[in-house]
Amino acid sequence: MSVVTFLDLEKKIKNIKIEGFIVNQGNKVIFEYLKNKKVKEKPTKVYSVTKSIVSLLIGILVDKGLIKNIHDPIFLYFPEILAMNEPLKKEISIFHLLTMTSGLKVCPFQGSKNWVKSIIEQPIIHNPGTTFQYNSGDSHLLSAIIKQVSGMPTAEFAEKYLFGPMGINKYTWVSDPQGIHGGGFSLSLNLVDMMKIGTLLLNEGIHKSKQLISSDWILQARYPHKQVEVLPEGTYGYGYQFWNFEGNNADNPINYYSANGLFGQYIFIVPELNIVAVIKSHLQDEEQNLPRVFFEELLLSLRN
């Protein structure tokens, strides 16, 4: 890729509130923009990138045999569902939570005294498995399941089996009133540790020759189990708490998957090009999509 193209990218980044934008190819940094030195090391909220981390933790529980089958109904973990006179709720599985197809009505549960109770008491508005609805409630139920199955808080489980082995120690993770770490948006990470996670995904679960998560789980997590939006340039889909993009250009397709967070937080993984990109932003409204647009433009440049 030409230096001119990198300069063009930097100009675009400087025009909006992107704090940091780093691109690695393999273990080599090929582009780095930092608004200031603190951006790289200081943990800040990554919002819905939290969801993708929760997916990885569910994968570790599956690898360990602590979750036998992701198609098991969630009433095994939330038996109060059995007392509800709502047969469809009994059909909701871990798979449905992972793929945002629980069918539960999306609700602003953060202000409630009991997040889990508030989420599972929502009415079913779609048959489980039929309809994609972006719902942080599904993700929070996953965190509650992690705590139940592992016997330790989600952050502690992450520290033992994911963060600790990777040297991720500059993070914070906020809990709900019952001490369940927020599964949808409550994690803070820095750019360095976001890159570590992206590199782990690129290497299909391997960190420094150690398999932290099975490659099978990562392949399933990044697979688009649901199509979300079909555009002329490609199709956006959703896996296990990860977004997926499959380009339509037959001669020069761009395919990647990503963890996305509110206000422009991203971890992009492009297996075909051996690329990971991480972005921290403070963007509003439609501008939140600009880092993705810039990244797709960068990929086109790299492919040409």
Residue 129 CA to residue 41 CA, distance in Å, equals: 40
pLDDT tens sequence across 216-232? 999 999 999 999 999 88
Task: Return the bridge partners of 34, or none.
Answer: 20
Angstrom distances, CA of residue 106 to CA of 82, 124, 135, 214 = 21, 10, 6, 31
Every domain range in the chain assigned CATH 3.40.710.10: 3-49+166-303
Tens digit of pLDDT for each residue in 281-298?
999 999 999 999 999 989
| Biggest CA pair distance of the chain | 64
Question: Over the stretch 10-51, which tens digit does the pLDDT of each residue have?
Answer: 999 998 989 999 999 998 999 999 999 899 999 999 999 999
Q: In this structure, are residues 264 and 291 in contact, taking their beta carbons and an 8 Å threshold?
A: yes
On average, the pLDDT of the chain sits at 95
CATH architecture group of domain 3-49+166-303? 3-Layer(aba) Sandwich (3.40)
**Closest residue by Cα to residue 195 from 300, 298, 55, 46:** 46
What is this structure's pTM? 0.96
